[in-house]
A and B are shown apart, each in its own frame.
Chain A
């Protein structure tokens, strides 16, 4: 069906066509306050067709996977490309990739499709119960488990044909605790390109009970101060920082469009010498890993920054052609209704040579942030914001008062140069979804503990 559609594309005068067929099935079990009150099943499928005619892109999608419908979708895509004919000052183009047939499938220990829903509910219930019954001040617990199997088949006019089946599982635990008028929450999330073993291997103490203890601990936390401080990140906040501050700026579509502060800076020192940054789609079992991207190019490990010097960007077929480089497999689409755009996979800072206790001891006054909640960046100005789950004051080399959830803000090119301590630790600790251009995509991020000499802390004192 796909190959017939590709063959037909020669007749419409397209310079390039790719067809993606996506099928995605999923199950989600949620136990809240002792009850598995909703179980969710999804079944999504469809095709997305992209054509390039006279330098203009057209895209169309359909949920109906039949030959005639795909041909009709191809015509729609062609008419979309022609709708803006003559408007391109700069034509769309793609790097040519060799004809290639590829096939990949996530290897897991236990395929969740072969596990009954009852067993999933039981496992989730036990984890939730451990958090719920820990302390009477725990007032709300939500333990969610979800699995998604995505099959993506990509073919293009260069003769590429790739089938990729990815299986991801994710478990999250949300806990709210309350004492008097004070209410606090905490979360723990684990996710990977893994099977049901992810859930089976979770121990309450290191997961749901840990979330509950964090929420309970935060009941006594103080409001953070406001102003400029040296700030230390745990691996999760490091992940959030590297994802927001540098990762989005290193997506080549934004760079080409003139929207990134990294435009024209390849080869320049943009970060402190101790900072090396990678985006790596090949980390085994990581949530952001993939065998092939949505253009059928192998997922790869890309060095973005080496010893502080900007090395290059993440690319799609189109940006690779425009920058004159080899495609590095970074174009991903949320599903058949979206076009592939340049995305991160697992983004991290490499470990350094400090120990965390040395960093703390070396800090006269600063704030240690733990747990990455959310973040965003305006890439054109490089202004980023990272929100952390909890924090501590560090005074005279010692960890002191526990602080509530707080955000920090900085300017990418300043902050990267002000990283003055990078620890030996390493953890990817941010499995989840990243949003860009209306599409959500699986990513992970992390790294070591690190210290930035100065960031703005948005506290209330």
Chain B
């Protein structure tokens, strides 16, 4: 097995020898096994072994980045030299102060499960077959697609100021997409389950839920344009919470291109909305002891009773404005640079049941899943209700099609008047249902 820490250290040292001031190297090795499902059958099994190393080199704040896909000392040194030579061409950046210095973090439990690391492709096939069988049991003629898989990976991060951290991780997942057709009428839905360890993985209901929901979406109707209360189910609500917290990216804010620039300390949501970002939740899907730059992760109150409390930082943005680093440096593997992103979002729960929220809505829209990403600069949402229902007289009346939502995300969050106490949970992440008032709904009827 390659000593990732030692290799990353060699790369870092090689970069510094090239005459740059600070350097950081990230080495990674992973294996992913998957079983693909198409047309209700196992179509293919795949194994992808990946390895690579990247180097960031800093000269007067200017950055050079280079990577290689081979874990050898020669390749690591070559990548370090490339990064260093690019850093020398980059412009000076006085806003860059320093990379992080070493800080020890508490261990986060549940990120690695040895049992997952020891599984073979046969298990991925079993889970995929379970997904197919349960989807078909719920809807005999369903067209079933999707797949299952698991992965195991190791990564090491070293910088020239003494940071040296190494983490191992596992993950497992099953996703099933079920399509049911009654002539020209089509209903479809996707369900998933994912986890870092076997004990948290529950593939059993995935196929059944996908088909049951697909059946419920048959007979969709167009609705009339109007202004309605809209209830966002767990996945749709999570998407909106994630969009809001993503806009708190300090880099986007400092560059003046985020709709949350200038909103720190101000009311961005109703008092019912409190959002904690927890990067160290045991076995959380987005958990880790350290962020992408080796800074200990932690718990961050992003929104407290509707007030935006902080922006999410990496070392560059925190140093630039002299604020505490919240440990949100995000690194999408060895091939990508360092950005900023939220981790596990855990909103505070409300007093209602989701059933009560529906019951107390005379006329409205229920959104299960939707493409509601806001414009990053304006916060304007203009998107389709991909999977949703019309609510009439306090009940789910019928599924909708060709229906859109147009609203500014801050207006939407400010108009939230109900948050549920029941919720969907994926490891580390909590997803309640909430209702927003006065949302413009565009329909094709």
Taking CB atoms and an 8 Å cut-off, the chain A residues in 168-201 that contact chain B are 176, 178, 181-185
Which of A44, A56, A90, A454 sits near B39, CB closer than 8 Å? A90
Q: How far is the CB of A220 from chain B (nearest CB, A)?
A: 13
With A81-B45, A184-B378 as contacts: A139 and B256 at CB distance below 8 Å: yes
Q: A38-B337, A387-B382 are in contact. Are A405 and B444 (CB under 8 A)?
A: no
Asked whether, in the complex, the Cβ of A176 is within 8 Å of the Cβ of B35, the reply is: no
Which residues of chain A are near B394, meaning CB under 8 Å? Answer: none
Chain A 441-461, CB within 8 Å of chain B: the 1/0 string? 000000000000010111111
Q: Does A129 contact B (CB under 8 A)?
A: no
Residues on A facing B (Cβ under 8 Å): 31-33, 35-46, 56-64, 76-77, 79-81, 83-84, 87-90, 92, 117-118, 121, 139-140, 176, 178, 181-185, 223-224, 226-228, 253, 256-259, 261, 337, 339, 376, 378, 380-381, 383, 385, 387, 404-407, 409-411, 454, 456-461
Instruction: Please state if A42 and B66 are interface contacts (CB–CB under 8 Å).
Output: yes
- Inside 8 A of A387's CB, which chain B residues have their CB? 382-383
Instruction: Say whether A380 contacts B179, CB under 8 Å.
Output: yes
- Inter-chain CA distance A224–B382, complex, in Å, is 10
Interface residues of B in 248-305 (CB under 8 A from A): 255-257, 259, 261-262
Kindly provide the distance from the CB of B423 to the nearest chain A CB, expressed in whole angstroms.
26
For A378, what are the chain B residues with a Cβ–Cβ distance below 8 Å? 188, 386
Check B375 for interface membership: any CB of A closer than 8 A.
yes
Name A59's contact: one of B42, B46, B143, B375 (CB within 8 Å): B46
B196 in the interface (beta carbon within 8 A) = no
Task: Report yes or no: B46 in contact with A60, Cβ–Cβ below 8 A.
Answer: yes
A84 touching B35, Cβ below 8 Å: yes
Among A63, A89, A385, A411, which residue has its beta carbon within 8 angstroms of that of B49? Answer: A63
Chain B residues with CB below 8 A from A178, complex form: 256
At the interface with chain A, which of B8-16, B121-129, B357-365?
B121-129
Are A83 and B122 in contact, with the CB atoms below 8 A?
yes
A residues less than 8 Å from B375 (CB atoms)? 185, 405
Q: A89-B40, A378-B188 are in contact. Are A456 and B443 (CB under 8 A)?
A: yes
Chain A residue with the shortest CB-CB distance to B220:
A381
Complex: A174 Cα to B380 Cα, angstroms: 18
Complex Cα distance, B253 from A178, in Å, reads 13
CB-defined A-B contacts under 8 Å, sample of 28: A33-B255, A37-B91, A39-B64, A41-B64, A41-B82, A46-B69, A59-B44, A59-B46, A63-B49, A63-B52, A80-B33, A80-B121, A83-B125, A84-B44, A84-B45, A117-B86, A121-B89, A182-B378, A185-B376, A226-B225, A227-B443, A383-B384, A383-B402, A404-B378, A407-B382, A460-B380, A460-B440, A461-B440
Decide: A37 and B46 in contact? CB cutoff 8 A: no
* Nearest CB in chain A: distance from B344 CB, A: 22
The minimal Cβ–Cβ distance linking A253 to chain B, given in whole angstroms, is 8
* Docked pose: A253 CA to B43 CA in angstroms: 12
A316 vs B179: C-alpha distance in the bound complex, in angstroms? 23
Contacting residue for A223 out of B129, B380, B402, CB 8 A = B380
A117 — which chain B residues lie within 8 A by C-beta? 86, 89
Q: Tell me the complex Cα distance, A43–B70, Å.
A: 10
| Cβ–Cβ < 8 Å partners of B376 in chain A | 185
CA distance A253 to B371 in the complex (A): 24
Q: A62 and B384: CB pair below 8 A? A: no
Q: Which residues of B contact A37 (CB under 8 A)?
A: 61-63, 90-91, 93, 96
Measured in the bound complex, the distance between the Cα atoms of B145 and A256 in whole Å is 12
A406/B63 contact (C-beta < 8 A), A380-B188, A458-B405 known:
no
B120: A residues at CB distance < 8 A: 83
Residues of A within 8 A of B51 (CB): 63
Sort A-B residue pairs by CB-CB distance and give the 9 closest, nearest first.
A458-B404, A57-B44, A83-B121, A226-B442, A80-B45, A458-B382, A39-B86, A139-B256, A227-B225
Which among B46, B67, B82, B91 is the interface contact of A80 at CB below 8 angstroms? B46
Cβ contact within 8 Å between A381 and B401 = yes
Report which of A31, A61, A140, A182 forms a contact with B48, defined as CB distance below 8 A.
A61
Query: Nearest chain-A residue to B56 (Cβ)?
Result: A38
| CB of B324 within 8 Å of the partner chain | no
How far in angstroms is the closest Cβ of chain B from A15? 14
B82 proximity list for chain A (CB < 8 A): 41, 43
Closest to B92 in A: A35
Of all chain B residues, the one with the shortest Cβ separation from A454 is B444
Residue B441 at the chain A interface, CB threshold 8 Å:
yes
Contact A381 B125 (CB under 8 A): no
Closest Cβ neighbor of B187 among chain A residues: A381
A383 touching B401, Cβ below 8 Å? yes
Chain A residues with CB under 8 A of B235? none
Q: Do B383 and A385 have beta carbons less than 8 Å apart?
A: yes
Distance in Å from the Cβ of B87 to the closest Cβ of chain A? 8
Closest CB in chain B relative to A232 CB, distance in Å: 17
| CB within 8 Å for A385 and B384 given contacts A88-B41, A139-B257 | yes
Residues of chain B from 408 to 445 with CB closer than 8 A to chain A in the complex: 408, 440-444
Q: Inside 8 A of B408's CB, which chain A residues have their CB? A: 460
Q: Would you call B73 an interface residue if the criterion is a C-beta within 8 Å of the partner chain's C-beta atoms?
A: no
A44-B335 CB under 8 A given contacts A178-B256, A256-B39: yes
**Chain B residue contacts of A459, Cβ below 8 A:** 382, 406, 440, 442
- Name which of A64, A88, A404, A409 has the most chain B CB atoms within 10 A of its CB: A409
Cβ contact within 8 Å between A56 and B44: yes
Against A, the Cβ 8 Å flags (1 = close, 0 = not) of B345-384 are: 0000000000000000000000000010001111010111
Contact A140 B255 (CB under 8 A): yes
- Residue in A35, A88, A410 whose CB lies within 8 Å of B91: A35
A411 and chain B: residue at smallest CB distance: B402
Asked if residues A228 and B45 are in contact (CB atoms below 8 Å), the reply is no
| Cβ of A323 to closest chain B Cβ, rounded Å | 14
B189 to chain A, nearest CB (A): 10
Complex: how many Å from CA A258 to CA B214? 15
CB distance from A176 to the nearest CB of B (A): 4
For residue B330, CB closer than 8 A to chain A, the reply is: no
B403 at the interface (CB under 8 A from A): yes
Q: Are A337 and B50 in contact, CB atoms less than 8 angstroms apart?
A: yes
- Candidate in A64, A183, A256, A411 with the most chain B CB atoms within 10 angstroms: A183
The CA-CA distance from A378 to B403 in the complex, in Å, is: 14
Contact A90 B41 (CB under 8 A): yes
Most buried by B among A31, A87, A88, A184: A87
Contact residue among B68, B92, B129, B380 (Cβ-Cβ distance under 8 Å from A87): B129
Q: Which residue of A lies closest to B35 (CB)?
A: A84
Complex: A44 Cα to B335 Cα, angstroms? 9
CB–CB A41/B86 < 8 A: yes
What's the Cα separation between A87 and B33 when bound, in Å?
Answer: 17
CB distance from B431 to the nearest CB of A (A): 22
B83 beta carbon closer than 8 Å to chain A: yes
Report the Cα distance A399→B401, complex, angstroms: 30
B294 CB to closest chain A CB (Å) equals: 19
Max chain B C-beta neighbours (<10 A), residue from A40, A59, A92 = A40
Q: Roughly how many angstroms separate A40 CA and B93 CA in the complex, as a whole number? A: 16
A41 touches B377 (CB 8 A): no
Which residues of B have CB within 8 Å of A383?
384, 386, 401-402
B195 CB, nearest partner CB in chain A, Å: 19
**Residues of chain A within 8 A of B40, CB atoms compared:** 89
A458 contacts B442, CB within 8 Å?
yes
Cα(A79)–Cα(B77), bound, Å? 35
| B383–A42 touching, CB < 8 Å | no
Q: Is B65 part of the binding interface, using a Cβ–Cβ cutoff of 8 Å? A: yes
* Interface assignment of B397: CB less than 8 Å from any CB of chain A: no
Q: Is B407 an interface residue (CB 8 A)?
A: yes
Q: Does B38 belong to the interface (CB within 8 Å)?
A: yes
Q: How far is the CA of A40 from the CA of B87 in the complex (A)?
A: 9
Q: Flag if A87 contacts B382 (CB, 8 Å).
A: no
Chain A residues lying within 8 Å of B402, measured Cβ to Cβ, are: 383, 409-411, 456
Contacts known (A41-B86, A258-B179, A406-B406); A339 close to B65, Cβ less than 8 A: no
